[in-house]
Amino acid sequence: MAYQALYRIYRPRSFSEVQGQDRIVATLREAVHQGRLTHAYLFSGPRGTGKTSVARILAKAVNCEQRCENGDPCLKCPSCQSIERGQHLDVIEIDAASNRGIDEIRDIKERITHQTAVSRYKVYIIDEAHMLTTEAFNAFLKTLEEPPAHVLFILATTEAHKLPVTVLSRCQRYEFKRLTIPVIQARLQFVAEQEGIAVEPEALELVAQAADGAMRDALSLFDQVVAVATHAVTVDDVARQAGMIGQRQMAELVAALAHGVDDVIQVLGDLRIQGLDEKLILRDLARLMRDVMLYRSAGPQLFSEYRREGLEQVVTLLPKNIDTNGWIDAIDQLAQAEARLRGGFPPDLAVELACLKLQRNLWAEAPVRPEAVPQFVEPSPSRSPETIVSEQPPQTRDFQAVLDIIKRDRPSTHALFDKATGTVDANNTLTIFFEFPAHRQLMDQPHNRDVVDRAVKAVFGPEAQYRFVDGTAPNGRLSEDSTVSPTALKAAIKEWFGPNVELTGID
């Protein structure tokens, strides 16, 4: 016997087997049980959520010869079995994508006047109903509104908004929702046990995540992964087949965002070489930002053990002081980047631009409050003109020399010194003030420390010391090469000692 895809083998055969659509199943079961059937149903919702399967189950239930008390079909009578084989004379499935014209609708109108061949109801299942032409819909309206008593119409569509309002008003509508990850994962676990497939629970969770709420997509991907796996199915197997970014690769990308521009470009290049789709890179990164936001605001208990371990690795690499608005802006930037892909923008540039913006906004401009800024006390004025010049002047020229060396050795580290200032005290200790606390935090990383250490010692000598501080340099401190004009000096002395003081030696 030829191999059958898993999604065909494990397609729901009765209401009891339908997953994740409890409200719809309960309503249809009760309608069948009480005999309160309407003449037209509209099943709408995302692909792979069970619309066509439920339509077939409903067709079996209304024509079943030995129906169960709860409204389920028996699956054993000739009617149920012939519907499952697709050979029932009174259950007609029509693909509206290829039978969309007015001629096909006229044919239906002629055939529904005939009585059923072997069953109680003649059921028409019209799949992808939104593909019918306007003329076909117009010809169908009267029939849809007042069909013969033995006829049942079931329309299925993924785009209900494309149906005319006149059609919508004539149908009893059921909206199918996307399935949750736990529901899909449980079904995949059942399939794996039935098929004798060894698989990691984390791999099933990743398959469910990649399916985006569609059970059929999940089973198709699982079938694909099993076909190439030579051992127990692992997370890496799923990630490769789905084109997703694995946890290790995601951690590398986040680490690159924390390090600098050159690292980001290199990691993105490696991901492209591995064949990862740019759209999936953006989506996975956006999903990570959302998960981190929830992880920090609500705690790790919201996530499974597998997701929790991955998030714990990534969270340590991200700034600790980003507020909710910062995460929302980051996710929105990634969504805008994906929109650029649909507009024909070069995919590689769109991803690079999004990541660099993310780096700038999260690591460089985080709206944070410094944890501890040293308090500087201005020296009390002395009755001497020499106090006009600060005792601890900023060494602007020497500090610029340090920055020049850092820029030459590691440009990504130099970028963290944007709006940074430096002062040197009498003990030859360089204090570097960072306006952005996120920059100062990144300076604690070993590779950044090494570059600064070499540069400071090259300029100030091997015994020089330095420290990093959040905030800006104290106001009122003049640089070493700053000079005071005679006019300003005279004004300052007279302001302090009085206007009658005699000044000599100041030109």
Q: What is the pLDDT of residues 196-249, one digit of tens each?
A: 999 988 899 999 988 989 999 999 999 999 998 878 898 888 988 888 887 788
Percent of the chain with pLDDT over 90: 33
- Is residue 506 situated within a structural domain? no
What pLDDT digit, counting tens, does each position of 108-149 carry? 988 888 888 888 999 999 999 999 999 999 988 988 988 899
Q: What predicted TM-score, i.e. pTM, was given to this entire model?
A: 0.66
The pLDDT confidence band at residue 401, using thresholds 50, 70 and 90, is confident
- Is residue 1 situated within a structural domain? no
**Whole-number pLDDT of residue 50:** 94
Domain finish residue from 175, 202, 225: 175
- Is residue 36 situated within a structural domain? yes
Give the E-state strand segments of 394-476 in sequence order: 421-424, 429-434, 465-470
- Is residue 163 situated within a structural domain? yes
**Whole-number pLDDT of residue 377:** 41
Domain span at residue 433 reads: 399-470
**Whole-number pLDDT of residue 499:** 65
- Is residue 499 situated within a structural domain? no
Most confident of 80-84, 97-101, 254-258, 338-342: 80-84
Q: Which residue has the higher pLDDT, 441 or 283?
A: 283
- Give the angle 363-365-371 at the CA atoms, nearest 5°: 80
203 plus 166 within the same structural domain: no
Instruction: Tally helices (H) and strands (E) across the chain.
Output: 22, 8
Domain finish residue from 345, 363, 381: 363
Q: Residue 106 burial by CB count (10 A; 0-12/13-18/19+): exposed, middle or buried? A: middle
**Whole-number pLDDT of residue 489:** 54
pLDDT at position 492 over 70: no
Q: Residue 304 burial by CB count (10 A; 0-12/13-18/19+): exposed, middle or buried? A: middle
Of the candidates 155, 150, 148, 151, the one whose C-alpha atom is nearest the C-alpha of residue 170 is: 155
231 plus 350 within the same structural domain: no
**Whole-number pLDDT of residue 501:** 64
User: For the domain that residue 193 is a member of, what is the CATH number?
Assistant: 1.10.8.60
78 plus 159 within the same structural domain: yes
Of the candidates 341, 329, 220, the one whose C-alpha atom is nearest the C-alpha of residue 281 is: 341
User: For the domain that residue 332 is a member of, what is the CATH number?
Assistant: 1.20.272.10
350 plus 429 within the same structural domain: no
222 plus 274 within the same structural domain: no
- Is residue 160 situated within a structural domain? yes
Distance CA(279)–CA(342), nearest Å, equals: 10
What pLDDT digit, counting tens, does each position of 166-194 carry? 999 999 999 999 999 999 999 999 999 99
16 plus 147 within the same structural domain: yes
113 plus 202 within the same structural domain: no
31 plus 165 within the same structural domain: yes
The pLDDT confidence band at residue 410, using thresholds 50, 70 and 90, is confident
**Whole-number pLDDT of residue 473:** 65
- Is residue 147 situated within a structural domain? yes
> Could you tell me the two tokens for 11?
């397609």
Write the CB contacts of 305 (distance below 8 Å, at least 6 apart in sequence): none
Percent of the chain with pLDDT over 70: 86
47 plus 119 within the same structural domain: yes
Domain count, the chain: 4
Domain finish residue from 221, 242, 263: 242
205 plus 287 within the same structural domain: no
44 plus 143 within the same structural domain: yes
Q: Which residue has the higher pLDDT, 40 or 4?
A: 40
280 plus 218 within the same structural domain: no
User: For the domain that residue 116 is a member of, what is the CATH number?
Assistant: 3.40.50.300
- Is residue 479 situated within a structural domain? no
User: Is residue 96 within 8 Å of 131, Cβ to Cβ?
Assistant: yes
pLDDT at position 265 over 60: yes
**Whole-number pLDDT of residue 503:** 66
CA distances from 35 to 62, 150, 154, 169 (A): 9, 13, 16, 22
Write the CB contacts of 341 (distance below 8 Å, at least 6 apart in sequence): 278, 279, 282, 347, 350
The pLDDT confidence band at residue 491, using thresholds 50, 70 and 90, is low
